[in-house]
Amino acid sequence: MEHELSGEIVEWRGPAPYYFVPLPDAASETLRAAATEAGYNSWGMLPIRVQLDGTEWKTSLWSKDGGYWLPLKDAVRKPLGLDAGDVVELRLTFDAPARRKQPPAKRAPRVTGSREPIAPDQLTIVPANQASSEDLAAVFGAGDAARCSCQRFRMLPKESWASEGPEELAARLRDQTACGNPKATTTTGLVAYLDGEPVGWCAVAPRSQHARLLRDYRVPWQDRSEDKTDPTVWAVTCFVTRAGYRRRGIGRALARASIGFAEGRGARAVEGYPDLVDGGSVGTLAMFTTAGYAVVSRPGKRRAVVRVDF
């Protein structure tokens, strides 16, 4: 299915990418119908091929404001001298695959085995409410990440993975992220896509929302004078990269995007707590410092506190 259309470039101040072309309503409706027929979540990402002034590339349309927005990466926009306000002529091609088996949450993860680095501009990183719950489940897979569902620092006294169970914790994550609800006003993280496939997750939320972080975890507080109840200080508490895409730079891209995500939602600072030995779910020091975080303390040989103040 091909569409030829024109649209105006707009700038969006949030996680990268920053420039988009909103599609006309008619094109969005036609593509949404085709996506539904092909088995895609109508409010999720839609893989697409784009042609613009002789340049062709693959990306994913972003469902926004009831229609689709086309992300315009800098690697394409800058060589063509394009900026916000410019009108461009586009050709979009959606190659509908065979209808996928339902439910999408049970699809087998696509394991590429590649170790080729993924450049940040190859990824589309969106607030989690712009992603579907099926896409988030695909990122978490069926191992320890799925068992925890990013609730390690959020559980209340006497709660544990065993006492609550994976289904309850997964339900909590769906509520926190508002996945599949693009009109939600709050969400707690970011989802990364590569060529339309969900490949990464990063939890970013007010630090005060993490009960166990405030109660039991000494790392953020040792030798620091911090108001634990301050809702304007946010925390990056978890990274998950989908099996088959690990060690390729997705975590670093998510750490970089977390800064704009927190700032755009009113945070005055955002922190992370990397593991200096192996990173694990909290991330490595290099992931954060490369993204622009600065080390503010090292409470022990294995932990660090990194921070960006706005």
**Are 181 and 221 in the same domain?**
yes
| pLDDT given for residue 117 in this prediction | 87
| pLDDT given for residue 160 in this prediction | 86
Count of structural domains within the chain: 2
How many helices (H) does the chain have, and how many strands (E)?
8, 14
**Are 208 and 275 in the same domain?**
yes
**Are 272 and 220 in the same domain?**
yes
State pLDDT tens for residues 181-208. Answer: 888 889 999 999 998 899 999 999 999 9
| pLDDT given for residue 108 in this prediction | 45
Statement: residue 104 has pLDDT above 80: no
| pLDDT given for residue 300 in this prediction | 85
| pLDDT given for residue 153 in this prediction | 94
**Are 10 and 52 in the same domain?**
yes
Q: Please compute the mean of the pLDDT values over residues 254-283 and round it to a whole number.
A: 94
Reported as a pLDDT band with limits 50, 70 and 90, residue 42 is: low
**Are 91 and 112 in the same domain?**
no
Q: Which of 97, 127, 154 lies at the terminal end of a domain, its last residue?
A: 97
Q: Residues 40, 46: contact at Cβ < 8 Å?
A: yes
Q: Please compute the mean of the pLDDT values over residues 1-23 and round it to a whole number.
A: 81
Reported as a pLDDT band with limits 50, 70 and 90, residue 41 is: low
**Are 111 and 49 in the same domain?**
no
Residue-averaged pLDDT of the chain: 87
What percent of the chain lies above the pLDDT cut of 70? 90
- Domain containing residue 285: CATH number: 3.40.630.30
**Are 86 and 142 in the same domain?**
no
Reported as a pLDDT band with limits 50, 70 and 90, residue 102 is: very low
Q: Which of 30, 62, 97 lies at the terminal end of a domain, its last residue?
A: 97
Statement: residue 226 has pLDDT above 70: yes
**Are 136 and 77 in the same domain?**
no
Reported as a pLDDT band with limits 50, 70 and 90, residue 8 is: very high
Statement: residue 224 has pLDDT above 70: yes
- The secondary element (H helix, E strand) that includes residue 238 is strand 233-241
Q: Which of 67, 97, 127 lies at the terminal end of a domain, its last residue?
A: 97
Expressed as residue numbers, the domain containing 55 is 2-97
Statement: residue 10 has pLDDT above 80: yes
- Domain containing residue 71: CATH number: 2.40.30.100
**Are 66 and 167 in the same domain?**
no
Decide: residue 3, CB within 10 A, 0-12 exposed, 13-18 middle, 19+ buried.
middle
**Are 52 and 158 in the same domain?**
no
Q: Residues 23, 64: contact at Cβ < 8 Å?
A: no
Strand order, beta sheet including 19-22? 2-8, 87-93, 46-52, 55-64, 67-71, 19-22, 10-11
**Are 303 and 174 in the same domain?**
yes
pTM of the predicted model as reported, rounded to 2 decimal places: 0.69
State pLDDT tens for residues 47-59. Answer: 889 999 989 988 8
Statement: residue 149 has pLDDT above 90: yes
| pLDDT given for residue 57 in this prediction | 86
**Are 283 and 200 in the same domain?**
yes
| pLDDT given for residue 243 in this prediction | 92
| pLDDT given for residue 15 in this prediction | 57
Least confidently predicted of 106-115, 156-165, 193-202: 106-115
State pLDDT tens for residues 118-142. Answer: 888 899 999 999 999 999 999 999 8
